[in-house]
Chain A
Amino acid sequence: MTATRLMEEAEIRRAVTRIAHEMLERNKGSEGVVLVGIAARGDDLARRLAAEIERIEGTDVPLGVLDITFYRDDIGLRSEAPELHETRVGFDITGKVVVLVDDVLYTGRTIRAAMDALVDFGRPTAIQLAVLVDRGHRELPIRADYVGKNVPTRKDEIVRVTLTEVDGEDAVLVEEPA
């Protein structure tokens, strides 16, 4: 398998910083904004965004993590039940602007599931979406509000985000199918 490196550590860091600024600009500060990362890796990116916002504004943004497994639309279509992660939304999202954070936006089905999961926790004023990579090929009418990098891909390619927290290094890779 051959892998092309699309983003390096420094580019990821700059993208996170830019998204944090865009979020603050669009929402006129961090008041009423909460971050919810989609496990796995979306939660780590959300934590980095929160740290950036803290650095820029000096405010603490509530941070949650969501596992969307139970909301998937392919249960019973897969040979094995997928691996589970923790869900922890320790604050009320009603009346808040929830920024969902994920690593890669692809078909949009994960985001659909995440929105279903979120509304079980309350009624947010708005849900926004931040992703590190948008690789296209949407199967649902969903778009991101904040994008680190748009990457045109073929459907058979695999886009992989690695993060220091879980994988030991920061990078975005495109892998050719075997």
Chain B
Amino acid sequence: MIKHLLSMNQLSAEDVARILDTANSFREVGTRVIKKVPALRGRSVVNLFYENSTRTRISFELAAKRLSADVINFSSTGTSVAKGESLKDTALTLQAMGADAIVIRHPSSGAPYALTRWVTGNVVNAGDGTHEHPTQALLDLYTVREHLGHIDGLRVAIIGDVLHSRVARSLTFGLSMMGAETTLVGPPTLIPPDAPVWGAEVSYQMDEVLPKLDVCYMLRVQNERQQKQFFPSVREYARLYGLSRERVAALPEGAMIMHPGPMNRGVEIASEVADLPQAVMEEQVTNGIAIRMSLLYLMMSDA
């Protein structure tokens, strides 16, 4: 297995299949009374989070703890980072303390890569700027494979704020690697100009895409990253690109609805749609723990 996971592009289709298969075993562990195995006993995993996060940080923390690793949570507030310490010095400090793996989330794209130059342990990208979020893509692939039995040949649309979405990039790479067809959908202002080289189709008309889909993947409108006005109003956005009850009716029978969370109910997804049985957001969260256990286990158990 690879030493660091920075981008989905580092993985081969075989690697992805292995991570997904191994996650199956860890999902079984999650159903036991004692949801813990001693696989990484004595190792330490540092969660280094320079951005707010609830689900990803807790998911990595639970994953490491269920593998019996020691977990240190380090966030940018209330620590030496708030005093102005650079990423490099923080990394060297963690290195000196003997961290075996560092899970990093950072507002700057490429920060996890920089980290790999300063530490000897494994580095996992838990989201860097608008670049990538590979473990989210892996858990989404796992959830899709769970539900539909396979990934190759599926038609998937990733809809919304593609421009600011690291999830969209990682997931598109992962889907095309596994043989699915991806269409990126959103207003022209929120589709990155380099989208064609991701290996995906682009559409600005959500209603044309919906009737052909196996998976309808909604993205969060990332207000915190939008530094200028990308659409006239939230109401207009919701009308043109929000997943309403009427649009769900246009989806084929059995199509899945996914969202990486946190959701803006009433913006990209109608509140009643988020609660439909074909919306699998809670499963995505549960599977996230198994996928992260699988990844940490495979990366850290190589000699």
State the A residues within 8 Å of B (CB): 67, 69-72, 75-81, 84-88, 116-117, 120-122
Contact = CB atoms under 8 A, between A and B. Distances in A.
B34 to A, nearest CB: 4
Contacts of A85: 25
Given A81-B298, A84-B22, A84-B25, A71 B303 contact: no
Q: In the A-B complex, list the 8 residue pairs whose CB atoms are closest, starting with the nearest.
A: A70-B37, A70-B39, A81-B301, A120-B34, A75-B301, A84-B25, A81-B298, A79-B303
A75 B39 contact: yes
B297 A81 contact: yes
Contacts of A86: 24-25, 28
Contacts of A71: 37-39
A81 B36 contact: no
Interface residues on B, range: 20 to 34
Given A67-B25, A70-B38, A81-B1, A76 B33 contact: no
B302 interface: yes
B238 to A, nearest CB: 44
Contacts of A77: 303
B302 A79 contact: yes
B40 interface: yes
Contacts of A80: 1, 302
A76 B297 CA distance: 10
Contacts of B40: 75
Interface of B: 1, 21-22, 24-25, 28-29, 32-34, 36-40, 43, 67, 297-298, 300-303
A81 B18 CA distance: 11
23 contacts: A69-B25, A70-B29, A70-B38, A71-B37, A71-B39, A72-B39, A75-B301, A76-B300, A76-B303, A77-B303, A79-B303, A80-B1, A80-B302, A81-B22, A84-B25, A85-B25, A86-B24, A86-B25, A87-B29, A88-B28, A116-B38, A120-B32, A120-B37
A70, A71, A80, A87 interface centre (most CB from chain B within 10 Å): A70
A87 B28 contact: yes
B299 to A, nearest CB: 9
A122 B33 CA distance: 9
A71 B298 CA distance: 14
Nearest to A71: B38
A120 B36 contact: yes
Given A71-B37, A120-B36, A81 B21 contact: no
A81 B21 CA distance: 13
B25, B36, B300 interface centre (most CB from chain A within 10 Å): B25
Contact of B25 (A72, A87, A116, A121): A87
Nearest to B36: A120
Contacts of A116: 38
Nearest to B293: A70
Nearest to A77: B303
A37 B32 CA distance: 18
A121 B35 CA distance: 10
Contact of B302 (A67, A81, A122): A81
